[in-house]
Amino acid sequence: MLKVAETTQVGSLAAAVGAEVRKLGAVSVHAFMNDKVAVSTALKALAMVPQEQGGQRIAFVPSFGRAKRGSILRLFVQPLGAARASREPAVPAAVAARAEGVE
C-alpha cells in the first residue's frame, strides 16, 4: 500500500507504483479525499507510470471507502494485461471441449 500526502512528489510516486506493480503484480494507492493536492498527486502519478517506467501500462479501479479519520480514495493498480484477463469470463473445460466438438 502506498499512502499519498500533500508532500508526496509525483515522480517518486510514479516510480514507486511502477516498481510495486512489477514486483508484486499490483498495489493499492490511498489518499484522503478531502486533500485535493494528494488526490491530484495520486492521479498525476498514475498517468506518469508509463513514461517513468519504460512504457509499462497500468489499469486502476477506484474504491471509495470510509475510515476512522475520514473518506479515503483507494486506487487498486495492476498491469493493463492483468486487468483485461480478470474481466474475461472463465469457461469451464467441459463447455470449452463441447464447443470444439470434443467430448
Could you read off the pLDDT of 58-101 as tens digits, one per residue?
A: 999 988 766 677 788 899 999 987 655 555 544 445 444 554 55
pLDDT single digits (tens) 15-68:
999 999 999 999 999 999 999 999 999 999 999 999 988 888 999 998 876 667
Length of the chain: 103
For position 81, what pLDDT does the model report? 75
How many C-beta atoms lie closer than 10 Å to residue 80's C-beta?
14
**Which CATH number is correct for 2-99, 2.40.50.140, 3.30.110.20, 3.40.190.10, 3.40.640.10?**
3.30.110.20
Question: What is the pLDDT, as a whole number, of residue 1?
Answer: 93
HSE (side-chain half, CA atoms, 13 Å) at 68: 0
Please give the pLDDT value at position 70.
75
Cell (9 digits) for 80: 493493463
What local confidence, expressed as pLDDT, does residue 82 receive?
A: 65
